[in-house]
A and B are shown apart, each in its own frame.
Chain A
Amino acid sequence: QVQLQESGPGLVKPSETLALTCSVSGGSIRSYYWGWIRQPPGKGLEWIGNIDSIGKSDYKSSLKSRVTISLDTSKNQFSLKLNSVTAADTAVYYCAKISDGGYRHYYMDVWGKGTKVTVSS
C-alpha cells in the first residue's frame, strides 16, 4: 500500500524558492507517475505538474517558468521547486500517485495529507 508524506518549510519569504519533498513508502518511485497539486485557502484544487517514472515532467502552463518537479530514486522521493514566490502561492500543497485506468486514463489515486505553505515576509 503506497503512502505519501509531504515535507518542507511552512513559511517562505516572497521572491524566494518554495521547496517540498514527497516521501514514498510501500512502493517504488520507479513504478508509477507522480503529481503535485495545491489548494489556496478556501479555494479549489490547482494541478501544478506531473512526473513520470523516468523523469519526464509536464507543468501547468501559467507556472511553467517557475516550477520544477524531479525524482530522487536513491531516496524514493520526488520534489517540487517553485521559484520567485508571492502571496498568491500560499496554499496547502499535496503530492499524489498517479495510476493508469487503462488507455492512459490517468487518475490520482493516492494522496499525501498535504502541507500548508505560507508566503510572507
Chain B
Amino acid sequence: DIQMTQSPSSLSASVGDGVTITCRASQNIANYLNWYQQKPGKAPKVLICGASSLQNGVPTRFSGSGSGTDFTLTISSLQPEDFATYFCQQTFTPSWTFGQGTKVEIK
C-alpha cells in the first residue's frame, strides 16, 4: 500500500496566522489527493479533492497544491473554526490510504 506521511504531526498557531501542512506519498500518485478536516467527536469533512479543487462551501482561505509525491494544504489566515485535525488521503490505487493527521491547535 502507498504510505502517506504528513508533517508536522501537530502545530500551534494564532488566529490570523498562515499555516502550511505537507503530505508526502511513498510513490507517485499524480494528483489523486484529497484533504479532510475533522473536529473532535465529529466525522471528517472533505475540503479539497484532486489536490487543488476546493469543495463547494469551503472558504477560499483553504488551498491545496502539489502533484506526484509532494502536496501542501495552506490556510491563509487561520480562523477560530479552523482549529481541527487535517488528513490527506490518496485515491490513486484501488487501496486507499490516509495520512496520520496534523492537529492544528491554538497558540
Contacts and interface: CB of A to CB of B under 8 A. Distances in A.
Nearest to A102: B50
Residue from A44, A62, A109 with most neighbouring chain B CB atoms (10 Å) = A44
Interface residues of B, number: 25
A111 interface: yes
Chain A contact-residue range equals: 20 to 34
Contacts of A107: 34, 46, 49, 55, 89, 91
A81 interface: no
B87 A45 contact: yes
Contacts, number: 64
A44 B46 contact: no
A42 to B, nearest CB: 11
B1 A105 contact: no
Nearest to A45: B98
Interface string B30-68: 011010101000011110011001010000000000000
Interface of A: 37, 44-47, 50, 58-62, 94, 101-103, 105-109, 111-114
Given A44-B87, A60-B1, A111-B43, 6 more contacts: A45-B38, A47-B97, A60-B96, A101-B49, A105-B32, A108-B44
